[in-house]
Structure 1
Amino acid sequence: MSRFERVRGRLRRAYESGRESVRADRRDVNDAPDEPRVASPATPGPVAPTSATVVGVEQPAALHTSTASRDDADVPHALRIGAAWSWRLIVIGVVTWSLIRIIGTIRIVIIPLAVALLLSALLAPAVGWLLKARFPRSLATGVVLVGGLAAVIGTLTLVVNEFIAGVPQLSDKSSEGVRQIQNWLKTGPLHLSDSQLNRYIDEAQGWINGNTSKFTSGALSTAATLAEVLTGTILVLFATFFFLRDGNRIWRFLVRLLPVAARWKVDDAGRASWSTLGAYVRATVLVAFIDAVGIGIFLVIFDIPFAFPLAALVFLGAFIPIVGAALSGVVAVLVALVDSGPVTALIILGVVIGVQQVEGHLLQPLIMGRAVAIHPLAVIIGIAAGVVLAGIAGALVAVPLIAVLNTAVRRLAARTVPDTPPDAVVVASQAP
């Protein structure tokens, strides 16, 4: 190869290298994400980057990433955020209000179902024990349900019989207590005269006579709702039986109605909520039993009448946290005041307060644990709302409902993926 051909080859290679570098620079400029290119109305030639200034063309206003138009950009950011929160909260409030109205309309069905869920959570371990002992599912459920009914009916029978037997004695003690109160009003710091006492008594009797129609109408309405109570009781029994026997199948059916992507998450939250409900109900029963035994022992020691019925009342009242056991303890204090005088009543009052302190600071944290721990303010608000919406039944259901919702919301808000169910089948998979 001649010297001239070697020089020409070198020049050609340098020319090709320069062209390739220019092409690479053009590709980098065209593909840059932070430099989108727009057509220039001044020159119809190649497009220019947005950073270039074009004479005679108004530059577009910079928009916030959360805005979609110039109008949104002119509204302050804080106002846009507040408006977004406001309309979402309004929608949530309307939906919640509608749900409350629907529940209030069909409360004769909702309340028995809620009570049935509580009973199912309480009796489910007993059904599990019988199933491990090779009992058929229907037979195990029937045995547990009949045994629970027998225990409740037997306890009510004992309470009613003791109450009937002690009414005459308590009536005599009540008359004596009323006379002691009258003497204290005369000789005590008030120094009321006989004419003042008679006037107050006449006013009280006039108030009772004037409100007799209200009392009578209330009694008639109570009698009218006897059919509803009977219907609700039957619904509770049937629902409890089927919840205990077919609870898993019912839950799986409900989960299958949801989108596939949400099934595992909802199933995990639902099963965790059911565990919380069971733990809450069993812990409440144990705490109520301890309260009833503690107060009942002191009632027996001080020979207070109706010791067993009052202990049973404390047991039932303890199912309404904070409020129920205190109110039932007040009844025991009043009976002690009528029967044995103020000193014994003060002692019983101290016993009730002491039992409440032991329950609140030792039994509930130790037995219930952190899984169902609820702030006292939430308990009080829930009980008040339950009483307003559904009376005593609402107060009974409010706190376990709050505990269940607390667990469900925490599970649904968690970012962890639920464990794979043991019966899950992998249809297809891809190698990493």
Structure 2
Amino acid sequence: MRVKTLRAGHLLLVVVLVALAIWAFWRVRTVSIPVLLAVFIASMTVPPTRWLVRRGLHAALATTLVWLGALGGGALLVVGLVPVTAAGIDDLSINVDRFAVDLQREAARFGVSEARFTELTEQAKEWLSHQWGDIADGAITGVIMTGEILVGALLALVLAVYFTYGGANLLTWLTGLAPAASRERLRSGSSVVFQVIGRYMRGVAFVGLVEGALTGLGLWALGVPLAIPLAVLTWIGAFFPIIGAFLAGLLAAIVAFAAKGWLIALAVVVLAVAVQQIEGNILAPQIYGRALDLPGPVVLVAIALGGVLAGIAGAFFATPLTAAAAALLHHHRSAEDGPPAADSKAPEENAAT
């Protein structure tokens, strides 16, 4: 009974500490979110840097080469997307009038008369006109938020470069501040979390790349404008499991409906569903592996909670942090249970994988 009471008290203490940590994290979110984002970015840049170091390059030179490649690739992507997006928007703007006519025709099929459709349109315009005052009032707030975002992005970038170069030394210094008995466990737990986050980020990036390529090819074959920007948006949506794919597919269907009509829009919906089936049944199990095999309801709840607590940033961090927490619990349990049997695979190995 005493052991059970101690374990219950220990669990309650852990819950309280986690709640306090989340509260403190949110109170200083202007700094804490960039730090967390830097860790996520470093989880993708550290492996190639270590690969170059193992082949004889100095750590500083390896870090420089990796980051020059990453920044150069991002710049080429932006430069390549700008003219294509501008041309696609011009092509789409030509079809706006036809889109309104098609929408009115489709509304008539459901019993909405032309007069009622016009009335609804005028009401929407009137509602939008009333919002301009609120938008103007929030302009200063928007400027402040934009400044915070830019500062946070710069801080995340600088920290990610530092983590890529000297993250191991920083971890050694931080764990050295803890009691000697817990240092090794903190280091091994940090390693597990970092590996899981890195595996998740690289897996999502690759899966999103395949999804974006398939979506872009399908939209291009169907003659839908903005095929390349929508493909990039599909890749970005992959970092927001389930919800991101749905929103990207919905936007692609809306663009297809505006440009080509409802038949092509229906084909785009079928394309989005097919791509999601390929991702869910073929790519994700092979890329992520069992270490990140989170049930669908857990992912949805995590994203919902993250979105409520921290908006877009919370929705982005929700799934990998949940996966990291699950892996850390498996690692902690395996450490308490002792070394595994020779004929079974170690839970710690599974978590680190």
Q: Which amino acid aligns with 1:258?
A: A
Matched, 1:135 2:73: no
Q: Secondary structure, in 3 states, of the residue corresponding to 2:111?
A: coil
Residue 167 of structure 2 corresponds to which residue in structure 1?
A: 247
Larger C-alpha radius of gyration, 1 or 2?
Answer: 1
- Counterpart CA distance in 1 for 2:338 and 2:120 is 70
Matched, 1:103 2:25: yes
Q: What RMSD over aligned residues (CA atoms) do the two structures have, in Å?
A: 2.4
Matched, 1:189 2:110: yes
Pairing partner for 1:346 from 261, 266, 269: 266
1:257-311 C-alpha deviation (Å, 9 max, x unpaired): 2222222222222222222222111111111011001111101111111111000
Pairing partner for 1:365 from 274, 285, 294: 285
Residue 323 of structure 2 corresponds to which residue in structure 1?
A: 403
Identity %: 28
Q: Which moved more, 1:138-147 or 1:282-291?
A: 138-147
Q: Which amino acid aligns with 1:263?
A: R
Counterparts in 2 of 1:185 and 1:121: CA distance versus 1, 3 Å:
same
- Counterpart CA distance in 2 for 1:164 and 1:222 is 25
Q: Could you tell me how far 1:89 is from its partner in structure 2? A: 6.9
Counterparts in 2 of 1:319 and 1:257: CA distance versus 1, 3 Å:
same
Q: Higher relative contact order at CA 8 Å, sep ≥6: structure 1 or structure 2?
A: 2
Matched, 1:234 2:154: yes
Unaligned runs of 5+ in 1: 1-64, 68-79, 420-432
Higher helix share: 2
Q: Secondary structure, in 3 states, of the residue corresponding to 1:305?
A: coil
Residue 345 of structure 2 corresponds to which residue in structure 1?
A: none
1:347-373 C-alpha deviation (Å, 9 max, x unpaired): 110110111112112211111111221
Residue 303 of structure 2 corresponds to which residue in structure 1?
A: 383
Residue 306 of structure 1 corresponds to which residue in structure 2?
A: 226
Q: Could you tell me how far 1:104 is from its partner in structure 2? A: 1.2
Q: Could you tell me how far 1:96 is from its partner in structure 2? A: 3.6
Is the contact made by 1:265 and 1:418 (CA closer than 8 Å) also made in structure 2?
A: no
Is the contact made by 1:173 and 1:339 (CA closer than 8 Å) also made in structure 2?
A: yes
Kindly report which structure 2 residues correspond to 1:67-78, keeping only aligned pairs within 5 A, or say none. Answer: none
Residue 165 of structure 1 corresponds to which residue in structure 2?
A: 87
TM-score (norm 1): 0.73
Residue 325 of structure 1 corresponds to which residue in structure 2?
A: 245
Is the contact made by 2:104 and 2:114 (CA closer than 8 Å) also made in structure 1?
A: no
- Counterpart CA distance in 2 for 1:299 and 1:219 is 36
- Counterpart CA distance in 2 for 1:295 and 1:143 is 32
TM-score (norm 2): 0.89
Kindly report which structure 2 residues correspond to 1:110-125, keeping only aligned pairs within 5 A, or say none. Answer: 110-125=32-47
Residue 200 of structure 2 corresponds to which residue in structure 1?
A: 280
Counterparts in 2 of 1:333 and 1:146: CA distance versus 1, 3 Å:
same
Q: Could you tell me how far 1:236 is from its partner in structure 2? A: 1.1
Pairing partner for 1:202 from 122, 132, 150: 122
Counterparts in 2 of 1:308 and 1:193: CA distance versus 1, 3 Å:
closer
Name the count of aligned residue pairs. Answer: 339
Matched, 1:146 2:77: no
Q: Could you tell me how far 1:205 is from its partner in structure 2? A: 1.5
- Counterpart CA distance in 2 for 1:197 and 1:173 is 19
